[in-house]
């Protein structure tokens, strides 16, 4: 059984609802694109603090 695993990193601060919508959208896209069942798709979301997310060599602010 092939189980696609999707890993996503986002800056912290999203709501649980937003993260759930993202999981659902990614699952649907993978299932359709790869011709697998939704139950086979795994989505891992890692929230990264602003101070650990660099943009232009500096920590992201707010």
DSSP result, 5-57: EEEEEEES---HHHHHHHHHHHHHHHHHHHT--GGG-EEEEEEE-GGG-EETT
pLDDT band at 35 (very low <50, low <70, confident <90, very high): very high
- Over range 15-21, report the average pLDDT: 98
Any catalytic annotation for residue 49? no
pLDDT band at 42 (very low <50, low <70, confident <90, very high): very high
Structure pTM?
Answer: 0.85
Does 23 score more than 80 pLDDT? yes
State residue 61's pLDDT score: 75
Mean pLDDT of the chain: 94
Residue tagged active-site, from 1, 3, 4, 42: 4
Q: Report, in angstroms and rounded to the nearest whole number, the Rg of the chain calculated over CA atoms.
A: 14
């Amino acid at each position: 059984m092939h189980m696609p695993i999707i890993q996503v990193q986002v800056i912290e601060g999203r709501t649980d609802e937003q993260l759930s919508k993202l999981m659902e959208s990614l699952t649907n896209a993978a299932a359709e694109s790869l011709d697998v069942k939704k139950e086979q798709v795994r989505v891992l979301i890692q929230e990264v603090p602003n101070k650990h997310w660099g943009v232009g060599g500096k920590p992201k602010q707010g």
